[in-house]
Amino acid sequence: MTSTTSVTRALALPIPGPHRKLGGGRRKGCINKVLQDSICFSPVLLSKAVMSSSSSSLEMEIFQYIDAHQNEFTKDLKEWVAVESDSIQPHLRKEVMRMMTLAADRLTALGATVNLVNLGSHQLPDGQVLPLPSVILGELGKDPQNPTVCFYGHVDVQPAKKEDGWNTDPYTLTEINGNLYGRGATDNKGPVLAWINAVETVRALKSAVPVNFKFVIEGMEEAGSLGLEKLLQEENQSFFSDVDYIVISDNLWLSNKKPALTYGSRGNACFFVEVECGSKDLHSGTFTKGVMIAKGKKQAPFLLISVSYFTDSLVDCTGRIQIPGIYDSVAALMEEERKLYESIEFDLEEHRNNCGVKKFLYSTKEEILLHLWRYPSLSIHGIEGAFHEPGIKTVIPAKVIGKFSIRQVPHMDLSVVRKQVVEHLEGVFSKRNSPNKLKVSMPLGAKPWLADVNDLLYKAGRRAIKTVFGEDPDFIRDGSTIPVARMFQTVTKKSVMMLPIGAADDGEHSQNEKISRFLSFVCFCY
């Protein structure tokens, strides 16, 4: 994005262009022509120079409305961020459900018809049964002459605590130098509100909107979107029957300066490696040497050593995964694809600063992007059951669970990946000749997603960004996992585009997550 010194506002701005209505019914060819000619989507940043040179009267009205109401919009985000809607931790489920009610009320106030769909409940590994948050299906506008755009977003968040390294309270939205810090600011409460604010702005000015809107907002995205796919299947012939295009704003630009459109993301296979030696924790002095006797069997209580041994066998010091066969299905890199990476704007120093690291495993832009987007990667996330509080607790835990995940790319099969991981770890375990118990499970798996950048929706997005920013966007993939993109594409058979609002340094899932005050509104352009 441009620097905050040159940016005056971010607003929901209609870009001048041909206005055309669909005559003679809703025919796909006609809709496609309208989209190609006139309907685009883009986040907007405008400097005074741009505004003075190209603004219509309506644009200036919108500009003034946003300027007058931006503190109200920020107040709404502050209210949303204050809700600890962490879908990962069971004791916060009520907060997630409260957040869904807030979002539904906001859409209702906008004038949308809102349906909170009950998804039932789910059972946790410990047997606890929890209700699933309802999913919001919202609808605004039913003009059969207009195409229908469906926006997806989520209002649940990742866990966050001040002691994790936040400079501010993660659930108190705090503005510092034009940035709004708080959990969910960029992932994904800020972008959801940005779309709502954009529609509100144009409707408040009584300007005609040449599209119908539908909203799908959920509260379990960070926990795997439980129940969402079934809902999409059930609603495919009803709620989604007249939807033409789906837009998702749940990821980031590649850089802090240049806008982007995202056409692919990696999948994710999450694994638990459970090692158990007994029924209770043991005194490390009494049971350190050798073995203990329990139920007539020898039990080796060195669980953390075993788990560390397993995790060390998964990946080498260059980042290459050591599981046999894991790369067999990865498509070969063709020269035409390699050239796409050469044209992408990617500042290694900026990326290093965003990551907060001193050195990368790879030295060139192309190598880093290839390993972020089109090659699988493996990450170790933690060990459950081990003492992690300040100080020392001199016990040997009865059971520990190592946690890691593999980000897989197109053509990798989840069931095959699971089989390869289990066989590898069981092979490593057998070589240790350990009497402990090993259990490997894959509690969560999401497939990768890939779209066609030549689709009309992406052409429209590209033209809109070129109109607003004066340059073409980078077409990028996302190294993270956004399963809803593939889910929507597979179930509805509609065109899906990912339109990121946040900048690369927004810190989604990390400490000090933020969104720029000047990039907190979506525009739709026509």
DSSP H helical segments within 6-56, as ranges?
28-37, 48-54
Answer whether the bond into residue 188 is a cis peptide, omega within 30°. yes
For residues 69 and 67, what is the distance between their CA atoms, to the nearest angstrom? 6
Of 402, 420, 393, the closest CA to residue 276 belongs to 402
List Cβ neighbours of 502 (8 Å cut-off, separation of 6 or more).
186, 187, 190, 191, 251, 252, 253, 508, 515, 516, 519
Catalytic residues: 156, 221
- DSSP 8-state class, residue 434: -
- Is 321 within 8 Å of 379 (Cβ atoms)? no
Strand order in 514-516's β-sheet? 174-176, 179-181, 514-516
Of 454, 407, 514, the closest CA to residue 186 belongs to 514
- Cα distances from 306 to residues 271, 279, 284, 302, in angstroms, run 16, 17, 16, 6
- Is 8 within 8 Å of 46 (Cβ atoms)? yes
Of 282, 302, 279, 267, the closest CA to residue 408 belongs to 267
Structure tokens at 9: 């506002």
